[in-house]
Amino acid sequence: MNWEDYIVLARALARHRREAMDRSAVSRAYYGAFNKSRRWLEANVTPIDDRRAHEQVWETFKTADLASAGTRREWLLVGGLGDSLRRLRNQADYDDQVELAGGVERAVASAERIVRLLDRLELAH
């Protein structure tokens, strides 16, 4: 599965400016970034526990314990963007009333940025 396709879908949904599409765009952007990040960690760092996968993925990046000195900032940024995106996704998926003005574009941009950052991350030696 190419999880980046979820982000492409999110970008397309975001163009329509209807509530259901906005909510779906936020959700797809999140899951594209989350699953891409999870696969990166599983390939390079550690297995991810399904029961607390979302928390574990973003915390691993936010602690940056295994980051090289040169990419520590990027690890932290992935964790912070992922956390923010997760909060917005929870609102979009579960809240009856949510104000997504600006949030849809921010979600898609954050997901795209996470994917770009993953390509630059390095592990400490």
Task: Give per-residue pLDDT as tens, 51-110.
Answer: 999 999 999 999 999 999 999 999 999 999 999 999 999 999 999 998 887 899 999 999
Alpha-carbon dihedral angle through residues 30, 36, 38, 41, given to the nearest 10 degrees: -140
Q: Domains of the chain (ranges plus CATH)?
A: 4-118 (1.20.120)
CB 85 within 8 A of CB 108: no
Per-residue b/e over 49-58, b at no fewer than 16 CB within 10 Å? Answer: eeeeebebbb
CB 52 within 8 A of CB 118: no
pLDDT of residue 93: 95
CA dist 32 and 1 (Å) reads 10
Task: Give per-residue pLDDT as tens, 13-49.
Answer: 999 989 999 999 999 999 999 999 999 999 999 999 9
pLDDT of residue 109: 97
103 closest CA partner among 118, 116, 84, 76: 84
Max CA-CA distance within the chain? 48
CA dist 17 and 122 (Å) reads 38
User: Is 90 exceeded by the pLDDT of residue 120?
Assistant: yes
